[in-house]
Amino acid sequence: MTGEAFTDAAGDALDEKLWLRSWTNNTYLWYDEVDDNNPADFSTSIYFEQLKTDFRSDAGSFKDNFHFSQSTDEYLTRTQRGQSFGYGISWEFIQASAPRRIIVRYTQPGSPAENAGIERGDELIAIDTIDFINTENNDDVDTINEALFPSSAGQVFQFTLQKKSGVQRDYSLTPSNVELSPVRNSTVLSTEIGSVGYVQFDSHIQSAQGPLISAFNLFSQNNVQALILDLRYNGGGLLSMASQLAFMVTGEQQTDGLIFDELKFNDKHPTFDPVTGRRLQPTPFYNREIDYERNEFTSNALPSLGLNTIYILTSGATCSASEAVINGLRGIDVEVVIIGDTTCGKPYGFYPTDNCGTTYFTIQFQGSNQKGFGEYSDGFIPTPNPIFEADVQGCLVEDDFSHALGSNDERMLSAAVNHLQTGQCPVQAKAKIAVAQFPVSQGPSIQTSVSILDAIMLENALNQPIGEPQK
């Protein structure tokens, strides 16, 4: 590799691959760990897939699990317009090969799924009479994938789902553009320690700013003594919104002049951001609303709660900007207690980059907090007795699909309230919806990569909004 930029211009497939090669060499965080294979030997998509490190973390997992691409039109529809094409179902993929198992996490308000009566905890049994659980026929699996991840309007699929009662029901669903509701179930709980705020926050996208502010205004008006922030399905998004969220938890007194997140690029770019050209500077705790269309601050101050402790509900789908909230708050000595499971482990970020109708995502920077800590590539781990830096005070609690999100009886929320009141973790009972213990087939697996993509695709660094600087 020469290190010289290969400019983006209309051309053939080889031109596209040469651009990818040059772009990777210039901006990829681990550019010196990428094999320099001949681009002529690969299709464009496969060539891009191998432009990443194969090195592993100390725990043995791959360093880079976040390397992907998708149609630019699809990406813009999802991130800028706050929409997703489908049925409005968030699936929990438990087992991809026979005997397969996926369960509904939740449905979007007003979506085809919600309107049809599909609920959290419903379990998929069949699609178009195909045995979803056991089929090993490749054509059947293709049909299942097309139904789960529809690509065009006008398609109609019949889903057979088993309700929590054990009754099976058929639903005819047609995919459409679904408005995303990233902030839900904002409420104030009455507990033994006083009023406690709870909010489910599913994605750091532009449309979340207003509802988040409304939720924190509600909490402030009710003088909450603690906050439970449900990030179990929040795969990330705008780093600037994560900074705003962290400020609203704490406030000016605890954050003034301190670093929320500091980005580090590869050793070719120690001083300037290679994408924006701006001088690198730490991201502070943003204390005002942001006009995300114009990429600048407004004059509106954010509400804040002045809390020294926060409870965060987490899972393996808690990723990226959501982990930055945990890390940023820990960096200024706010006590973070996590209830749930180990987070995904993505202290990294990228600028989604468009080229020839495809948007590419490749790791370009790593973030760290006020204390300089950013080594959590194996996730933040909830434990009653933290030892290592990525260990966080908290409790390992299984997700509870038998109760609605925000319900006082839902296992993770209930465990958080109990820990607030007693400081104790619950005794782990057998999950009400347990993973079936059957031999796993070596036959065809259904597609699950889209669920992984959903968990990380929204990451987009906004290191410093243009306009009046943060004071």
Q: What is the pLDDT of residues 39-91, one digit of tens each?
A: 999 999 999 999 999 999 877 888 898 899 988 887 776 655 556 789 999 99
The low-confidence residues of the chain, meaning pLDDT below 70, are: 1-11, 77-83, 428-443, 448-471
Looking at residue 91, what is its pLDDT?
Answer: 94
User: ω before 99 within 30° of 0 (cis)?
Assistant: yes
Q: What are the pLDDT digits (tens) for 320-362?
A: 999 999 999 999 999 999 999 999 999 998 888 999 899 999 9
Looking at residue 254, what is its pLDDT?
Answer: 97
| Per-residue DSSP letter, 469 | P
Domains of the chain in start order, with CATH, are 85-179 (2.30.42.10), 183-422 (3.90.226.10)
Looking at residue 452, what is its pLDDT?
Answer: 43
- Per-residue exposure over 31-43, b if at least 16 CB sit within 10 Å of its own CB, e if not: beebeeeebeebe
Looking at residue 59, what is its pLDDT?
Answer: 79
Looking at residue 470, what is its pLDDT?
Answer: 28
Looking at residue 450, what is its pLDDT?
Answer: 45
Looking at residue 437, what is its pLDDT?
Answer: 42
Looking at residue 427, what is its pLDDT?
Answer: 86
Looking at residue 456, what is its pLDDT?
Answer: 46
Q: How far apart are CA 105 and CA 294, in angstroms?
A: 34
Q: How far apart are CA 10 and CA 459, in angstroms?
A: 27
Query: Which one-letter amino acid corresponds to residue 127?
Result: I
Q: How far apart are CA 339 and CA 314, in angstroms?
A: 6
